Structure 1
Amino acid sequence: MNFGNEVQAMVYQQAEESIVPPSYEELEQKAREHLDSKPYDYVASSAGAEITKRQNNQAFEKWQIVPRMLRDTSERDLSIELFGRKLPFPLLCAPIGVQSIVHPEGELSSAKGAAAMNIPFISSTASTYSLEETAEVMGNKDKWFQLYWSRDREIAASMVKRAEEAGYNAIVITLDTPMMGWREKDIDHAYLPFLQAKGIGNYLSDPVFLSRLDEPPEKDMMSAIMLWSQIFGNPALTWDDLDFIKAQTTLPIILKGILHTDDAKLAVEHGVDGIIVSNHGGRQVDGAIPAIDALAEVVEVVGDRVPVLMDSGIRRGSDMLKALALGAKAVLIGRPYMYGLALAGEAGVKQVLRNLIADFDLSMALSGKKSTQELNRDLLRKK
């Protein structure tokens, strides 16, 4: 399947309408024009002066592709195998909470767009819609559940069990958000959508959470919101706590937010099944190392013991190509599909994903590679 050529043919023959811009910069600008400032800034902004957010993107420029010629790339294979399942593309939708602030159907539309492209959707703990509702719209397509590990460990255990029962294929534990980072634009707006009962759908549908309330949320929503605010995040967690979550599920456990090589080693030592190199899109620690800079170091210390994935800064197919050449098994994207969601719902998400895969396919072929298995460090030079 030569995905990029097929997409080009559809576009040039006007067989399918382009409903979102193919340029990331224009996509972001269109979303900014479309959305009110509070939800736009919540999605687009990052911690502090947003240095890490900018450097996430700029750091890719240090790696340059050295294409090879006269290599038969007439037929390409973009597929990978991950945790025993074959995926058609090395791409996943990163977990993003409160998607209803940019589109009324929020996570449901994003999940359907991802499912239509056969791309795994990682459903966030901080979703407006419950994990069961998201699973239902995806049917048997690949889906992972991301856990924000709350102070109430029984609520965390409940959510993990619910995810396995609902047919999710893996559990992603986000490590870098034991509390929210200092996000200046959100502070300026005094805007936290959770306090408007958005992004707490998994809590409002959780039996353990509900058992902690004196009245059901439909009778006293403010008390439910206040309980959420008291238990979200858990800065007291240590590596030893992983055993508790591992005991709740048979699903693969992937740790998201690893940047330091020592943490990568500890993750493997504690028996996790995968690592996602990520700085949360710059939203937590301003001045943190760009994710692409951490990737090669983490891959080196982990070796082939567990798969390493990467997010934070993926904007184009060439970014995907560089990340995979540096050892990532797959990459995750966040803001791009959120902007597609804001502009055109499910169809917008689908087209953003389609465009990114097409760009990756063509970039890979033009670099002289015909499969993801052929991508390695030899493809790159560091500026």
Structure 2
Amino acid sequence: MFHTSFHASSSSDAQHPLAAYGWDAGWEAEFAPYAAQGLLPGRVIRVDRGQCYVATAGGVVRADTAFVTPHDPLRVICTGDWAAVDPEGVSDPRYVRACLPRRTAFARSTSSQRSEGQILAANVDHAVITVSLAVELDLGRIERFLALAWESGAQPTVVLSKADLVPDPVGLSYLVEDVETVAPGVQVVPLSSTTGEGLDVLSAVVAGGTTVLLGVSGAGKSTLANALVGADVMDVQAARDVDGKGRHTTTTRNLFVLPGGGVLIDTPGLRGVGLWDAETGVGQVFSEIEELAAECRFHDCAHESEPGCAVAAAIEDGSLPVRRLESYRKLLRENQRIVAKTDARLRTEILKDWKRKGAEGRRALAMKRGQVR
């Protein structure tokens, strides 16, 4: 089901009919060469099996994606893209002829052995990470989502959904504080779609630009999408009480115009949250560790047993949780492996480093045994 009505952010009659979808002077300049060819601009609101639905000035049209299916999975057309579409009557079916360069893109690695990247949403300004309070908080998973969000170029916000299941205000405040400790620079919003708590706060966040909803299955994204759009645009299914999980209510990525301004992209629940070349995003999530690392005596400090290690000192005095450092290391290692699989030069450097450390380890062991002086 598509939410296709236009909600202009200005009462001016001269406003472009695609302004509600995020069209601006920048996109118009990018589109100029295609306009000269007689093509129409539009925003992709859904992609489905070689076809896509594009919101144009004349309404939503269905178009074939045969001309925008590159070999690179990160460059295939995606919900949120701005596209150049055939005008009516030129061809049957109508085709998307090109996509405009993306300003931002939210990508993750797939669960396949090929470790390919997967684009989830394009031209996103805000990433709302939805976390259900019906189950125990998984801070590590939140850190993963945050790393991907920061890397995409979007501003993340964490929504703690189903807040009505935590009736104790003190207990809820503690949960918010727990998330804030792993989300520096990120707004954390407790929200209940049932009672409406927090909905006004989130509505203000998403009122400008394009927002993508992210989270695992059962986190309450579809219910939240309905609340923000103000209509039952997404089917909702109950999650299991035991683990908060449910069937994937959302199976495609859909784009909706919000009545208060802004655009919303809902995504299917993600079973896996694999990093994809997200070193900068990881650094942003763990900014306090990187700030400490800058104070270490050695610039290549591994934060293990080196003298003058500011990170180790923070662990020792309790100002940095051990879990936080372990999570940082885990995500960095994972990201390095992903990048190495697609970057032969980096892979070679990593192998050389492993060999060097292995040789140093063997030499240290030999010296310990008195075999080398």
TM-score by length of 1: 0.27
Would you tell me which structure has more helix in proportion to its own residues?
1
- Larger C-alpha radius of gyration, 1 or 2? 2
Q: Which has the higher strand share?
A: 2
TM-score when scaled to structure 2?
Answer: 0.28
